[in-house]
Amino acid sequence: MSASMCLYRLRFLKSLERFGRVQALQTQRKFASTLTAIKDETETANTEAKQCSTFQSMQEERRERAERSVLISCPPKFNESKFLKLLSTHGTVKKYFFYHNSTTNAVVEFSSRNSIASLMESTRLPSGSSIPFKSRLMSLKWPDTQSPLRKVKLQDLTPPTPLDTIKKLSKKNSIDEQLQCLMDIYQLTEESISLRYLVCSLLGDLAGVYFPQSVIRPFGSTVNGLGRLGCDLDMILDLNGTYEGSQKRSSPHLEYQVKMALSERAMVQTILSVIARCLEKFGPGFGGVESIPHARCPIVRFSHETSGLSCDLTLNTFGMKSSELLFLYGQLDPRVRPLLFAVRFWAQNHGITKVVPGAWITNFSLTLMVLFFLQRRTPAILPTLNQLKDLAGPLDKCVIMNNDCTFVSDLSKISMNNNTETLETLLLEFFEFYATFDFKNLSIDIREEKPQFKPEANLFIRNPFEEDLNVSKNVNEKQLSNFVTLCQKCAWISQTQNVLKPLSGSVKEFNSPWGFVALLPEHMYTPVFATLKRKKPSVNITDLFKTLKLTKKTDANEGESVVADQA
């Protein structure tokens, strides 16, 4: 890993430097990034923050803010302004918010890290026998003699209920509006992202303590622009150039004495096992620690009680590159993220994807399927990974464990597409695309422009960075069949039923399910709509779809053979 980590590191260290360059080049396009949208009106540096547009510089900025923040559990009754006054004795509070999880909690960001030192200096350990590990997780103690004032405003960091979602979507005027709305109500808020970075930072104080240059970084949903409120927090322990420069030297020199591991994997397992023990025994707010050393990618799983987040910690660095890639794709066209939110929501509610591991299609696989689909529109909405690689500059070079993970990080280098399809079209075409895809012969590979034949029997979705890996190796024939059948059903519904447009009139939204809602499983919208008027297919969906297809001229890029594997 040494050399590869070095390269990865080099990129990272240069990120702030590159930031300047990116700003200069970025004249064509400005993306309103989920990760950088700062809603706080008191924030004056908004525009500056929005411009910090490379994935890594954004991460770095969030990480730095988290290091200036503390997490404080508050009692049922306290006075917000007095609380702030107490905090302000240690320095300027830049921003803060409250959320509820068992108790009211406050995330407080100071302007300076010195304030944290001052605050910690004045903070005391509780009485009784405790493990005196002092972290930035604290409790506010409010004596009864101090009268409380009004209730504080709470940020909701939990996802809306399915019922609320259906109601909201039904009030919209088009499928495009529905998909946009779905993303708006589910995507991570500024506050939820701040809290996630803070949990990483708190974990870093504990887990990274032996490796001073190390950093805990969120990856996956938290940073790829596709995270939903309440989703797990995936974290990476980035050893951060610890191995840098271990080249051969011909002159007398010193080398650290260290414990050796039998392999890279054994090293990762060892580090994670010690971290697991430390978290379990010392870590304030961390609980339910479970070490899973024998997984393909060894992880430590635990919950962070104060934030209510389920967390996974790993040392694998591919995760970070995958996150960056998804983030980049999400930024390239404003239709990508709403479509991804919709397909992922749809698949989850139909049981195509599940929270527990098994033979199902994963969110990552499904995301690659959507990206692959968007690469195959005419004109293409997204470039292939090979095209992104061709655009990469020297600083984008990245090799992890002998796999070339290089792709461009500068958005301004990527020219815009001139595809004008609506979200509605894309959603319905997505179903048709996979209803008719030649899963038997072709792989789904976001790197290549040309169709790729697949090397094995299973559904084959090539890992973007580890070429030999099939990310959907786990998916069995039954699960693939379920997915294809559902795509067929949705394509059939949208083509034959009158459900794509809302009824006119002021009470339209409560008449019957329509648009995206009509493509969700019945149990979700039944409580909302008293009577269901939509005609349900009574015969075999596959047969119906086949009949339909014969009457429709399809733009069959991927060939004609469909669903041959299915019963």
Q: Binding string, 13-52, against a copy of itself, x = CB under 8 A?
A: ----------------------------------------
* Residues in 301-340 at the binding interface with a copy of itself, rule: CB under 8 A: 306
Q: Which range binds a copy of itself by CB under 8 A, 39-47, 226-234, 240-248, 439-447?
A: 240-248
Nearer to a copy of itself, 308 or 451 (CB): 308
Task: Tell me which of 252, 357, 394, 505 binds a copy of itself, using CB under 8 A.
Answer: 252
Contact 399, 515 (CB under 8 A): no
* Order of strands, sheet of 69-74, starting from the edge strand that comes earlier in the sequence: 69-74, 103-110, 93-101, 154-155
Q: Which range binds a copy of itself by CB under 8 A, 28-36, 91-99, 263-271, 388-396?
A: 263-271
Q: Whole-number minimum distance, CB 266 to a copy of itself, in Å?
A: 7
Nearer to a copy of itself, 31 or 282 (CB): 282
Of residues 182, 177, 171, the one with CA closest to residue 506: 171
Q: Whole-number minimum distance, CB 87 to a copy of itself, in Å?
A: 9
| HEC profile of 149-198 | CCCCCEECCCCCCHHHHHHHHHCCCCHHHHHHHHHHHHECCHHHHHHHHH
Contact 368, 446 (CB under 8 A): yes
The DSSP bridge pattern shows strands 403-404 and 399-400 to be: antiparallel
Task: Tell me which of 81, 102, 263, 504 binds a copy of itself, using CB under 8 A.
Answer: 263
Quote the tokens at residue 522: 């019945």
Task: Tell me which of 101, 174, 189, 242 binds a copy of itself, using CB under 8 A.
Answer: 242
Task: Tell me which of 26, 101, 273, 441 binds a copy of itself, using CB under 8 A.
Answer: 273
**Rounded CA separation 361/132 (Å):** 44
Q: Contact between 243 and a copy of itself (CB under 8 A)?
A: yes
Q: Contact between 271 and a copy of itself (CB under 8 A)?
A: yes
Task: Tell me which of 43, 264, 390, 543 binds a copy of itself, using CB under 8 A.
Answer: 264
Task: Tell me which of 146, 147, 158, 554 binds a copy of itself, using CB under 8 A.
Answer: 146
* Residues in 469-488 at the binding interface with a copy of itself, rule: CB under 8 A: none
Q: Contact between 135 and a copy of itself (CB under 8 A)?
A: yes
* Residues in 78-117 at the binding interface with a copy of itself, rule: CB under 8 A: 78, 82-83, 86
Contact 213, 242 (CB under 8 A): yes
Angle between helices 190-207 and 264-282 (to 10 degrees): 100
Of residues 494, 485, 486, the one with CA closest to residue 350: 486
**Rounded CA separation 29/194 (Å):** 26
Q: Contact between 278 and a copy of itself (CB under 8 A)?
A: yes
Nearer to a copy of itself, 278 or 469 (CB): 278
452, β-bridge pairs = 443
Q: Identify the residue whose tokens are 């940020």.
A: 155
**Rounded CA separation 550/495 (Å):** 13
**Rounded CA separation 357/342 (Å):** 22
470, β-bridge pairs = 462
Task: Tell me which of 50, 167, 171, 277 binds a copy of itself, using CB under 8 A.
Answer: 277
Task: Tell me which of 4, 26, 211, 380 binds a copy of itself, using CB under 8 A.
Answer: 211
Q: Whole-number minimum distance, CB 567 to a copy of itself, in Å?
A: 49
Is 74 in a helix, a strand, or coil?
strand
Nearer to a copy of itself, 272 or 519 (CB): 272
Of residues 209, 261, 474, 519, the one with CA closest to residue 359: 474
The DSSP bridge pattern shows strands 69-74 and 93-101 to be: unpaired
Q: Contact between 127 and a copy of itself (CB under 8 A)?
A: yes
Quote the tokens at residue 318: 């591919």
Q: Binding string, 168-207, against a copy of itself, x = CB under 8 A?
A: --------------------------------------x-
Task: Tell me which of 124, 294, 523, 553 binds a copy of itself, using CB under 8 A.
Answer: 124
Task: Tell me which of 150, 249, 296, 450 binds a copy of itself, using CB under 8 A.
Answer: 249
**Rounded CA separation 482/566 (Å):** 9
Q: Which range binds a copy of itself by CB under 8 A, 27-35, 217-225, 258-266, 329-337?
A: 258-266
Q: Contact between 297 and a copy of itself (CB under 8 A)?
A: no
97, β-bridge pairs = 107
Task: Tell me which of 42, 44, 81, 129 binds a copy of itself, using CB under 8 A.
Answer: 129
Q: Identify the residue whose tokens are 């004008």.
A: 420
Q: Contact between 218 and a copy of itself (CB under 8 A)?
A: no
